[in-house]
Structure 1
């Protein structure tokens, strides 16, 4: 028996009311999420719980960048074993740095759709596996390939770490935890030669890779208990538990690929071309990082060739740079407390007009200290 038009209209009205009610509930969920009493929101977690999420991420970043330079004291042994020049023996370091540039481009967008935790917990085992491959490599080409793939696998935590800080803290409270996460990637290369120097002196160059794995494994064990922090992913999970539509609808595969390409390729290029502050800041960061890694080539010639240091003594010379990194992080926190937080307390138009620029003071100070150093 055919249904009456009035019945169809009534069904459509009910479906419309149900859809409207679901949308209202989803809006309520989103609004309630940001309330101070909502302990599911990572920004409302206790200071201890936030620390237990920031510290492991910082240690992950440190372990990856330490792995980049830990092999440098073994460059002499690598050159002798594979019968290559000292310049070629430094390629495991150079290609690792290249991999650090490629990895975030691939993994950072994944963290925006699938969350931060999956990036940490999947990328690091791959990183350690490729380091194992580098340690067991019996050919120079195999060593280079494994080191490059290890860097690509381990690099995502360097890009996603800042996102975790943003998930846990409001912008006005990000200085101290942000300094910790930013400091770790620069502190790692300074500690790498210290550890690698002892490994290469008293064992063989392969132990520079085993030491890299042990450091990464310790960091990974601390990351395993951590929870997801990304707001979009948590809201989606909460909506699924409540039987509600997600706050942001799922994109079709073609649209998702288009968005991925837009975010990963075209947006950074557009910002570099159209935003002078982004361009200049990127050039400055690239320069300081290149100076840091140039030291790994220069220090052996200066301290071993000129002053007669042995391998482990030359590794200790990088502790001076590590002290500088710690002082830089401390300076960033002090500038935040003495300048930025003062403007935050005044609030209003002043924070909108002058607040963001105060973050650059520590960069200005460092810009003067670098050539002096």
Structure 2
């Protein structure tokens, strides 16, 4: 699963552009805050006769774009996220071919998948500084261009080491675009408009890993594994076309351009070294500190990371289980992953329903913009119940004599619970922490996710071969069961936990 967006906090006031131009470098790709909604007067020129200018009312302000233009931008970032995330798992059906062609072990054959996942974890560190100096559009131009070029190199390489390096570099260049997507949403939609666009954007990088093996099995079966990479190239070209159709959205950059057109003195741009220094703090140093000292970040991060790793473990285990238990062909086993994609859609729907009928019903009981963040955890709590149930269901139903539809249903429920846990938890973190702390908390979560997503596939097949489907999946279910109380305890005692935080958090 690729880097996914951090939903912006709903309970924080939108800062004005002047404040944002000074503090924006402390936010990860725009995550965790809104940008550019307030006024900026143009009376800072030498000519005192120059009339005041309001960025809020300017047609160049992305908030003032027509709806169709905003939706084209949404489509672009969603397509980019889908392309970059589908590339993670599209190689999973080629595991056997890698072993046969390159003479590597089963564990080593997972490296092309694992290294791509690892490289995506660099997204917040790379994407933030670049996008806040050069703008969002340059990030989106680089992603499909260089990501596609290195994917093309993957398809032509005849060296396993070369394949691993090229896969890592392809993910490395796609990663920044996945990290700044939520910042783009913050810049084009007002908070009240973001519900559906945010849900669609979050869904896209979840659908990619689910559909990747479905596409990959047909390509590996009929054309060979290089065509999985050529397919990523075709997707990259399609993505690049969408990028070329969309303009810049980063407010500080647009303000500087607009003020130059109006012959006004633009705000000073912070030095690149300062931006990089702040992002290293926000993207690396502070996240590590938050993992160790912040129970909210640590508990939810560990839970999400374990289930993220479990999903990537299944990219190898499902082929072993369904081919070994039911005699499925490679193509039939790959089609099982449609259940993952369907479960992601169900999970997104569950988040929406919880927001619509539970979260919003609480809003009227609290002062404006002061609803306790814990009310964001409803769908996470539902997800915690689904995860161990679905895993045990899958583990002990995937056996001869039981219709294969039964474990497939369990897979869909696991994906539903996984998406519900992730989106709800990240919404909660976005409401709990303020300012750049949101970006650091999100980076901490991403760091844990991608470490687990990289490591889990490397031992998954060995565990399933030695323990069998039932007991191996029961180990994963036990992990989910042990971590289950986390969101429930935070729902009950979250306010007390927030009060003990060393960082600025919501106090209501």
Corresponding residue for residue 56 of structure 2: 34
Aligned equivalent of 2:291 = 272
**How far off its partner does 1:204 sit?**
0.9
TM-score normalized by the length of structure 1: 0.86
| Unpaired runs of at least 5, structure 2 | 1-41, 391-508
Which of the numbers 179, 187, 196 marks the counterpart of 1:167?
A: 187
Tell whether the 8 Å contact from 1:175 to 1:332 is kept in structure 2 after alignment: no
1:351 maps to which of 369, 379, 386: 369
Alpha carbons 1:103, 1:156 under 8 Å: kept: yes
Q: How does 1:29-68 map to 2 (within 5 A)?
A: 29=53, 32-35=54-57, 38-68=58-88
Match of 1:294 in 2: 313
* Stretches of structure 1 lacking an aligned partner (at least 5 in a row): 1-17
Count of residue pairs brought into register by the alignment: 349
Please report the TM-score for the alignment, with normalisation by the length of structure 2: 0.64
- Asked if 1 retains the 8 angstrom alpha-carbon contact of 2:44 and 2:264, the reply is no
| 3-state secondary structure, aligned to 2:369 | helix
CA 1:224/1:263 → structure 2, altered by over 3 Å: closer, same or farther?
A: same
Among 389, 410, 428, the residue aligned to 1:372: 389
Aligned to 2:322: 303
| Aligned position for 1:200 | 220
Q: Distance in 1 between matches of 2:80 and 2:346?
A: 21
Q: Paired residue for 2:122, among 102, 116, 120? A: 102
Residue 25 of structure 1 and its aligned partner are, at CA, apart by 9.7
**What's the counterpart of residue 363 of structure 1?**
380
Structure 1 pair 125/341, CA: closer, same or farther in 2 (3 Å)? Answer: same
Deviations 1:108-133 (A, max 9, x none): 22212322111001222110011011
Q: Is the 8 A contact 2:59 2:65 kept in 1?
A: yes
**Residues 16-72 of structure 1: CA distance to partner in whole angstroms, max 9, x if unpaired?**
xx995559999954xx2224xx43221222322211111121111111111111011
Contact kept? 2:153, 2:166, Cα under 8 Å = yes
Could you tell me which of 82, 86, 90 is aligned with 1:70? 90
Distance 1:26 1:365, change over 3 A: farther
Change beyond 3 A, Cα 1:285–1:175: farther
Displacement, 1:343?
Answer: 5.1
Cα distance in 2, alignment partners of residues 182 and 339 from structure 1: 20
Conserved? CA contact 1:103–1:151, under 8 Å: no
Q: How many Å separate the matches in 2 of 1:296 and 1:66?
A: 12
1:255 aligns with 2:277: no
2:252 matches 1:236: no
Q: CA RMSD in A?
A: 2.5
Work out whether residues 107 and 156 of structure 1, in 8 Å CA contact, stay in contact via their aligned partners in 2: yes
Partner of 1:352, secondary structure, is coil
